[in-house]
Chain A
Amino acid sequence: MKAAVIVFPGSNCDRDLKVALAQSMGRDPDMVWHGDSQLPPTDLIAIPGGFSYGDYLRAGAMAANSPIMREVVKKAAAGTPVLAICNGFQVATETGMLPGALLRNAGQKFVCRDVNLLITSQNERFVGGFELGEVVRFPVAHHDGNYFADTDTLEELEAEGQVAFKYAGADGELTAEANPNGSLNNIAGIYNKAGNVLGLMPHPERLISEELGGTDGRRFFDHLVNSIV
């Protein structure tokens, strides 16, 4: 399997994502510079977290206009799986690959901590390694993770099973306290209509070993790699 990690000026989880993918794939992904207009042949495109272009103007806005993203959007439309984490999720909504937008956290502050996530739909490729209704733990670390979409879009997302993860309590309850950023419907991650693009605010790549405090992220990547191979 081959994977490509997109690197923008200001990306800062690119290495973390590379390490996580390499651990599960047994080989390094390609690191692709934002200014390139060609993607190498790849089975998975991963857009990492960080502060592309400093998150100036709007998080993800400038990166969404970079040459490589035109290519990513094309490949996604053609069915290549895309995993967009944190800033990557913001970039994906800015390109229109995913609906909605990510606003400033309701609490106004950057928030970095582990959160519990309820698996809310079955997408064999991305979360087939988890049970529907299972609660997993990934960390969040963002300032603009407050998911917004208009009512119609939101209803459609829910109805079509496009909501991937919701912030939840340890027992899976969807409470306001479990929601770190004010996201509508506690949404932490969504799929596009075709189900080949996943955007999520939490960082599975940060919990990939006991040493780091947990392995739910490892399970996520192991399954993703297996399902693509």
Chain B
Amino acid sequence: MTEITKEIVAEHGLSEDEYQELLRVLGRVPNLTELGIFSVMWSEHCSYKSSKKWLKTLPTSAPWVICGPGENAGVIDIGDGQAAIFKMESHNHPSYIEPYQGAATGVGGIMRDVFTMGARPVANMNALRFGRPDHPKTRHLVSGVVAGISGYGNCMGVPTVGGETNFHSSYDGNILVNAMTVGIADTDKIFYSAAAGVGNPVVYVGSKTGRDGIHGATMASAEFDDDSEEKRPTVQVGDPFTEKLLLEACLELMATDAIVAIQDMGAAGLTSSSFEMADKGGVGIELNLDQVPMREEGMTPYEIMLSESQERMLMVLKPGREEEARRIFEKWELDFSVIGKVTDTGRMVLTMQGETVADLPVAPLADAAPEYDRPWVKTPIQAPIRGEDVAAPNDLGEALIKLMGSSEIASRKWIWEQYDHMVMGDTIQRPGGDAAVVRVHGTGKALAITTDCTPRYCFADPVTGGAQAVAEAWRNITATGALPLAITDCMNFGNPQRPEIMGQFVGCIEGMKNACLALDFPVISGNVSLYNETNGTGIHPTPAVGGVGILKDLAHMTTLAFKEDGDIVLLLGDLTGEMGQSLYLREIEGREEGAPPTVDLAKERKYGDYLRAMIEKGLVTAAHDISDGGLGVALAEMALAGNIGAELEIETDLPPHAALFAETQAAYVITAKPDDVEMLRGFALADDIPLHILGTIGHTDLKIGGWLTISLGRLRDVHAGWLPELMAGPGSEQE
């Protein structure tokens, strides 16, 4: 028996206080397996010990929310007896170590979260943050991550329909890979994780358990292992084929009524899945570890409980339904094993080879999980930068060209062409627009899906940045004509034990909360990833937001592409000329400074609701919100998407570069048929909504009177060229 020393406790990431608490709960010294289980349960990842206090402040309910945070994924009602189930999750660290497998298993993990709840995944998204483009590792990481997402998602046959990609030096040593999955289920066929029914069988299905990803504990356990083979891999390898089988088998079993509860084995594998199921159900669980299907010989209880092997699920079945379930899993050539039963003891009892190897109280262990109120300081706010404070460029046209070919704005086609974004036959808006639109199979309605966050805003002003992330997601959904319903989030931050970082977290949450409330856009699921630091430098705070909305009728949908010669271009909203944190400032002036643009949530709501109503009336032929790069970039993107130019005139008191490139919030560019403009203006006037005519669509140049004239060809070259050129350099080869 291994003696539990201070070093072993420390290697398990438990603080002195936490270990004392453990002793109190348990009433004795734990054995190594028990210590491993505690360390996992009380890790930041599983216990949310630094973030819980603040996460609780986010709004999570609305009449259409069926299940908020706390389950594997959140659930909303989308009408007609159907629900959308979705969540976003990070796989940052593994993706940095091994980009292909790290990203692939991230995708696999998030899909399991969604189909565990009874949904068929219908769309994947990915929010990626890489270091500066010329960092020596960037190409390798981009190519590996994209190939990994592609490799897993494509094989699963779930379309990857969108995402976002940023490059910034703050991610040089710590990239972010956030994956989101959206699924659809019937509202009366949603599955939860609370175990119930004393005596019911606990069943393991999927892949066998190997020594995959036994994390920080690796060293500790290696020391106590007699056959010290080679150093164990801490990276898991994904097997998308097995996951595809697992998906089909689970959905087949879910069509019966044999399942009482189900939970995927994600991070912390069998430990967290079994504890969560027992804790939620207020029951005990007894597991016989000899029955766990194993890939390798001589695995210890410690290894079995902490393994992060992928493509596995744990279920509680109704009594007597084992054989029926077994037949389904065997048909799909998957392992199936009854490994235990539900008990009324409130304890988790693990046995192996006739011996009790762990015996832990479930509720006390869960209840005693640490929760910290970490000290935090408010992020100092910088002064706004107005147009007048910024020198005018020599040439407005060249400035726009530079922005269109910059790392933040350039087309991501190189990425999404590697993703099968059409499989399942319901992708109505492919990547490249504001939000992806995916039809609900067999109906005339659709989901609009987007991910958004502008980390440089969050870094400059977390409260504004947090609100902006939510507002932009809401706008992107609105721009398609859809009604935004709810969000998931992935809170990526640095070390929470540093008060400045904790202050960023607290600020972002506050901003998000304000926006969610103002926009009726609750948080229904999410994930927190802390300690994203290298050498003491944290990443930009990155609260990635994944939004979902509903289009009740596909007949009323818009895209951002300019449609037809003669359509009128209008600006919905006001140009504020706020230049702080703009890409213009960064790309043209080389400055990352100032306060980010103001987020006026009342205006967001009002202007967005107006736009949606106008789209529904059929008065809008194209719509695109203003974000990175401002009005100029928005216009250029619409022209490129439609392959038609425009002749425009912008009347403003602002300096031209501020009018064109300030990243004004709560604003859209829309187009309409000439005959409909009066109606649009009438509705706008009645609601006191600013709507300005900018000009007319036509020809092959983007022409802004007195300011610039650029051919679409030139715009397309820089916009389309940047990423392929970057990736053509060395280091980007794929396996």
Q: Write the residues of chain A forming the contact surface with B, with a CB cutoff of 8 angstroms.
A: 9-13, 15-16, 19-20, 49-51, 53-56, 108-113, 139, 141, 143, 203, 205-206, 208, 211-213
Contact = CB atoms under 8 A, between A and B. Distances in A.
Contacts of B245: 9-10
Given A51-B155, A109-B734, A211-B554, A10 B241 contact: yes
Contacts of A208: 425
Given A10-B241, A10-B244, A213-B430, 14 more contacts: A9-B241, A9-B244, A12-B155, A13-B423, A49-B423, A51-B240, A53-B241, A108-B734, A112-B154, A112-B422, A141-B154, A141-B423, A208-B425, A212-B428
A210 B418 CA distance: 24
Task: Give the interface SS of chain A, mostly helix, strand, loop or mixed.
Answer: mixed
Contacts of B244: 9-10, 12, 51, 54
Contacts of A54: 155, 239-242, 244
B425 A212 contact: yes
B617 to A, nearest CB: 20
B150 interface: yes
A132 B609 CA distance: 51
B422 A206 contact: yes
A108 B733 CA distance: 8
A141 B240 CA distance: 17
Contact of A141 (B147, B422, B428, B439): B422
Nearest to A11: B157
Contacts of A9: 241, 244-245, 332-333
Contacts of B423: 12-13, 16, 49, 141
A13 B425 CA distance: 9
A87 B242 CA distance: 18
Interface string B702-726: 0000000000000000000000000
A206 B425 contact: yes
Nearest to B431: A112
B436 to A, nearest CB: 13
Nearest to B333: A9
Nearest to B413: A113
B419 interface: yes
Given A15-B424, A108-B734, A113 B241 contact: no
A141 B649 CA distance: 42
Given A51-B154, A53-B241, A15 B420 contact: no
Contact of A110 (B333, B420, B733): B420
A110 B425 contact: no
B420 A205 contact: no
A20 B151 CA distance: 26
B418 A112 contact: yes
B398 interface: no
A206 B155 CA distance: 17
Nearest to B426: A212
B45 to A, nearest CB: 29
A102 B418 CA distance: 18
Contacts of B154: 51, 110, 112, 141, 143
A112 B241 contact: no
19 contacts: A9-B332, A10-B241, A12-B156, A15-B424, A16-B423, A51-B244, A108-B733, A109-B734, A110-B151, A110-B154, A110-B419, A111-B418, A112-B421, A141-B420, A143-B154, A203-B422, A205-B425, A206-B422, A208-B425
Contacts, number: 86
Contacts of A19: 425
A11 B424 CA distance: 11
B427 interface: yes
Given A10-B155, A50-B157, A51-B154, A110 B428 contact: no
A20 B426 CA distance: 12
Contact of A212 (B242, B416, B419, B427): B427
Interface in B402-450: 416-425, 427-428, 430, 439
A16 B423 CA distance: 8
Contacts of A141: 154, 420, 422-423
Contacts of B240: 51, 54
A139 B422 contact: yes
A103 B332 CA distance: 28
Contacts of B424: 15-16
Contact of B418 (A11, A15, A110): A110
A33 to B, nearest CB: 9
Contacts of A12: 155-157, 244, 423
Q: Counting chain B CB atoms within 10 Å of each CB, which of A13, A16, A54, A208 scores highest?
A: A54
Interface of B: 147, 150-151, 154-157, 239-242, 244-245, 332-333, 416-425, 427-428, 430, 439, 554, 733-734
A28 to B, nearest CB: 13
A112 B420 contact: yes
Contact of A109 (B147, B157, B421): B147
A179 B154 CA distance: 21
Contacts of B554: 211
A10 B241 CA distance: 6
A143 to B, nearest CB: 8
Q: Which of A13, A211, A212 has the most CB of B within 10 A?
A: A211
Given A9-B241, A141-B154, A113 B417 contact: yes
Contacts of A206: 422, 425
Name the residue in B151, B155, B240 with the highest tally of chain A Cβ atoms < 10 Å from its Cβ.
B155
A116 to B, nearest CB: 16
Contacts of A113: 417
B56 to A, nearest CB: 40
Contacts of A112: 154, 416-422
Contacts of B439: 211
Contacts of A51: 154-155, 157, 240-241, 244
Nearest to A141: B420
Contacts of A13: 157, 423
B523 to A, nearest CB: 31
A16 B426 CA distance: 9
A82 to B, nearest CB: 21
B639 to A, nearest CB: 20
Given A56-B241, A108-B733, A16 B420 contact: no
B444 to A, nearest CB: 9
Nearest to B554: A211
Contacts of B151: 110
A112 B153 CA distance: 13
Given A54-B155, A110-B150, A110-B420, A16 B734 contact: no
Nearest to B444: A211
A212 B441 CA distance: 12
Nearest to B147: A109
A111 B241 contact: no
Nearest to B733: A108
Nearest to A18: B425
A20 B424 CA distance: 11
A121 B417 CA distance: 29
A11 B241 CA distance: 10
Contacts of A212: 422, 425, 427-428
A113 B242 CA distance: 27
Nearest to A206: B422
A8 to B, nearest CB: 11
A226 B563 CA distance: 35
A2 B170 CA distance: 59
Nearest to A109: B418
Contacts of A109: 147, 150, 417-418, 734
Contacts of A11: 157
Contacts of A49: 423
A15 B158 CA distance: 12
A23 B245 CA distance: 27
